[in-house]
């Protein structure tokens, strides 16, 4: 069987192209690059046939642990994906579409993004949404940048219970700016916002929080929103979208900007990506939203149509006035989110959220009844909760992996003082048998 070449051009075609350019060899094309900066090798293996390549990747994939009972969350979640999501998002009209600059030939993509924006607004309780961002972390950082532009201030307060990866993205965005980022350390088991409210002053541009937070706790941010607004600051809430099928929207709590990661809306777990971020705000801040916004209009015949309305990107306006260079690489993931939400409908989405809540409550009760295991969350939680063990959590998680259970996320890498704690996640896919198995193995390890 013949092997595939990494180069699609035949030697004759290469010679013809070089002759047309007046070059004697491929190396001549790289002459402007100093020899020390040229790639010496691309370290590519020999070409393979299709059969050999598939066998190679099946072998590599086989090294992954299979058939684990999955209780790991912390930002990416193991949710069911209806078959219709793969089917519709895989249609060529969507799958191959790029940035819809030309409305006369992009109405399908433009309408899908418009409907996506509508769905995000309804989900978050906000008035306007853009057509998606890269992921939840960048969405939070873009919201922080929005707050700085809107208020003209240079101080941000961020809750230490916000996803550590997302806080790192925010720190990276702000690293070279004259901005003070005040991180308020979390106090596990004390789900109040008094310390956040006390940190607000007249230089604060925004307070950044997450609901449910990284430990799984659900909060009511009405008082925090009121205090922030009284000081002239904004409230930015990062939300877990599935939770919004059950808990009150951030908009109803007084949030000014709402962000989040859309992986749990119809996008599979795949080593942390790809995903999409969503961002929505009050209408008065629409010109500060990053990326692009799809608008609805009518043509000269009065027919309904969709167009790119606001796109304050550096390629369209003066660079120093651009809000972001976010492009179209996540639109297909956002489309999957729209199909997911549309296929479930409002009632189905609420039922999904309820199922997540009920199963996690059962797991919380079962694990909390084990000797030496303490559930640390002081109030309500949504499909995640934090348990404290009598020994180091990372060692327990490793021991449970050997028994076929991915038990949770140990907290010590992110909060060194919490080395005995881990976050346990229970989605609608976890069965009662799996939860009981987790409890039985955990009890056995702790008693051994």
pTM value is: 0.89
Coil/strand/helix, residue 27: helix
In terms of phi and psi (left: phi > 0; alpha: psi -120 to 50; beta: otherwise), the region of 405 is: beta
Q: For 232, how many CA atoms within 13 A lie in the half-sphere containing its CB?
A: 11
pLDDT in tens, the chain (448 residues): 455 566 778 889 999 999 999 999 988 999 999 988 888 777 777 888 899 999 999 999 999 888 899 999 999 999 999 999 999 999 998 888 777 778 888 899 999 999 999 999 999 999 999 999 999 999 999 999 999 999 999 999 999 999 999 999 999 999 999 999 999 988 776 566 889 999 999 999 999 999 999 999 999 999 999 999 999 999 999 999 999 999 999 999 999 999 999 999 999 998 878 899 999 999 999 999 988 899 999 999 999 999 988 877 666 777 777 776 665 557 899 999 999 999 999 999 999 999 999 999 999 999 999 999 999 998 999 999 999 999 999 999 999 999 999 999 999 999 999 999 999 999 999 999 999 999 999 999 999 7
Outline where 125-231 has alpha helix (H).
136-151, 164-174, 194-198, 222-230
Residue 422: how many other CB atoms lie within 10 Å: 25
* Torsions phi, psi for 228 (to 5 deg): -65, -45
Q: Is the separation of the CB atoms in 323 and 313 below 8 Å? A: yes
Residues in the chain: 448
Domains (range + CATH), the chain: 69-79+346-447 (3.90.1150.10), 83-340 (3.40.640.10)
**C-alpha–C-alpha distance, residues 321 and 314, integer Å:** 8
The one-character DSSP state at 5 is P
* Alpha-carbon dihedral angle through residues 331, 337, 343, 345, given to the nearest 10 degrees: -120
Outline where 50-155 has alpha helix (H).
50-61, 83-89, 92-95, 107-124, 136-151
**C-alpha–C-alpha distance, residues 421 and 376, integer Å:** 9
CA 144 to chain centre: 16
Q: Is 210 exposed, middle or buried (0-12, 13-18, 19+ CB in 10 A)?
A: buried
Sign of dihedral through CA atoms 383, 385, 390, 391?
positive
**C-alpha–C-alpha distance, residues 338 and 443, integer Å:** 41
């Amino acid at each position: 069987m013949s092997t595939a070449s990494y180069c699609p051009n035949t030697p004759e075609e290469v010679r013809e192209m070089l002759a047309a350019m007046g070059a004697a060899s491929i190396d001549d094309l790289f002459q402007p690059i100093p020899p020390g900066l040229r790639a010496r090798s691309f370290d590519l293996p020999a070409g393979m046939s299709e059969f050999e390549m598939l066998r190679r990747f099946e072998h590599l994939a086989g090294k992954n642990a299979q058939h684990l009972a999955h209780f790991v969350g912390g930002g990416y979640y193991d949710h069911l994906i209806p078959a219709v999501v793969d089917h519709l998002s895989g249609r060529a009209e969507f799958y191959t579409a790029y940035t819809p600059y030309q409305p006369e030939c992009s109405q399908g993509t433009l309408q899908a993004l418009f409907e996506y924006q509508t769905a995000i607004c309804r989900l978050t309780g906000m008035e306007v949404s853009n057509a998606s961002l890269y992921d939840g972390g960048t969405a939070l950082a873009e919201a922080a940048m929005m707050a700085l532009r809107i208020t003209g201030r240079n101080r941000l307060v961020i809750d230490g219970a916000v996803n550590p990866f997302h806080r790192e993205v925010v720190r990276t965005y702000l690293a070279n700016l004259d901005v003070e980022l005040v991180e308020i350390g979390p106090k596990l088991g004390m789900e109040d916002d008094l310390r956040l409210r006390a940190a607000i002053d007249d230089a604060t541009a925004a307070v950044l929080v997450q609901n449910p937070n990284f430990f799984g706790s659900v909060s009511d941010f009405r008082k925090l929103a009121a205090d922030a607004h009284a000081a002239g600051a904004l409230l930015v809430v990062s939300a877990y979208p599935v939770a919004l099928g059950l808990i009150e929207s951030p908009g109803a709590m007084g949030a000014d900007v709402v962000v989040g990661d859309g992986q749990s809306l119809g996008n599979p777990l795949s080593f942390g990506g790809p995903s999409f971020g969503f961002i929505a705000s009050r209408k008065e801040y629409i010109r500060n939203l990053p990326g692009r916004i799809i608008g609805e209009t009518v043509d000269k015949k009065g027919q309904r149509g969709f167009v790119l309305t606001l796109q304050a990107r550096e390629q369209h306006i003066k660079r120093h006035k651009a809000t972001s260079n976010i492009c179209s690489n996540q639109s297909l993931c956002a489309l999957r989110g729209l199909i997911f939400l549309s296929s479930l409908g409002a009632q189905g989405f609420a039922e999904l959220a309820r199922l997540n809540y009920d199963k996690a409550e059962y797991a919380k009760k079962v694990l909390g009844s084990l000797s030496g295991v303490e559930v640390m969350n002081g109030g309500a939680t949504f499909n995640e909760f934090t348990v404290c063990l009598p020994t180091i959590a990372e060692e327990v998680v490793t021991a449970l992996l050997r028994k076929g259970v991915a038990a949770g996320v140990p907290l010590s890498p992110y909060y060194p003082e919490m080395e005995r704690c881990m976050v346990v996640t229970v989605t609608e896919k976890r069965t009662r048998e799996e939860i009981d198995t987790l409890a039985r193995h955990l009890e056995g390890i702790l008693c051994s």
